[in-house]
Amino acid sequence: MIELGPGTGVFTRALLERGVKPENLALIELSTAFARRLEADFPGVAVHNRSAADLKEMDLFGGAPVGAVVSGLGLLAMPDDLVLAILDGVFRHLKPGGAVIQFSYSPRSPVRTGVLDKSGYGVERVGRTYRNLPPAFVYKITQG
């Protein structure tokens, strides 16, 4: 499993608590400060202090594809080209039928329509919680 933009590691901790083995998790975090903290907090988990846009050229798990990618990236705040580079790279690491599970505070698609039109990726809302402030939504991004 790959997590994009793990930040302080809230989702990382939840994934490990739910049984994902540390050696089966790779974290891609752009901020060096967060990456150092993640390395200290999650021994055995591979932390890559890189942009998720570099995924297309990264070798993870010896080239073995993963079933899911979890993302806390703020895709709506990123330019279209960067979002496309990230998604194109991500899908190189996903098994056929695999998906990106994307967390967002937006009740609308976390990927702009222009990017979806250009790429053919599909977005579906699969969860929400109003107990979070602001309310949070969970989306599944697939290859369409």
Ligand X SMILES: C[S@@+](CC[C@H](N)C(=O)[O-])C[C@H]1O[C@@H](n2cnc3c(N)ncnc32)[C@H](O)[C@@H]1O
Q: By the criterion CB under 6 A, which residues form the site for ligand X?
A: 4-8, 10-11, 28-31, 34, 51-53, 72-74
Q: How would DSSP label each residue in 16-50?
A: HHTT--GGG-EEE-S-HHHHHHHHHHSTTSEEE-S
Between 22 and 96, CB nearer to ligand X: 22
Radius of gyration (C-alpha) of the chain in whole angstroms: 14
Between 20 and 30, CB nearer to ligand X: 30
Minimum CB separation of residue 64 from ligand X in Å reads 21
Residue with token string 């330019």: 79
Residue 121: which residues within 8 A CB-CB, separation 6 or more? 87, 111, 115, 141, 142, 143, 144
Minimum CB separation of residue 97 from ligand X in Å reads 24
Tell me the two tokens of residue 114: 């222009």
Minimum CB separation of residue 135 from ligand X in Å reads 15
Minimum CB separation of residue 31 from ligand X in Å reads 4
Between 72 and 99, CB nearer to ligand X: 72
Between 83 and 123, CB nearer to ligand X: 83
